[in-house]
Amino acid sequence: MVLLDIKDVSILADYFVIGSASSERQAKAIVEGITADTKKLLGARPPRIEGEPSDGWVLIDYGSVVVHLFAPEARRYYRLEELWRGGRVVVRMQ
């Protein structure tokens, strides 16, 4: 899991959260957990969710924060950390 501060290099968002899920079931649980917790704790609902766990990439758009959840092979293919390397890594968890 990586939290990138991209506000100085992009007008798309302030932060990207980039993570991986090892299975569709795990991805679905992570997406449900994120959306339920942000609603409960912050009263925030994402205006948009794109993709499905079966697609290998789910994007949860909260406006200033965008969550990208990938299957491992899709994450290697799209390499968002490399694409947005101008952003500052705030947190990296393995």
CATH code for the domain of 55: 3.30.460.10
Task: Round to whole Å and give the CA distance between 26 and 21.
Answer: 6
Q: Write out the residue range of the structural domain in which residue 71 sits.
A: 2-92
When divided into structural domains, the chain yields a total of: 1
pTM of whole model > 0.75?
Answer: yes
Which residues of the chain fall short of a pLDDT of 70? none
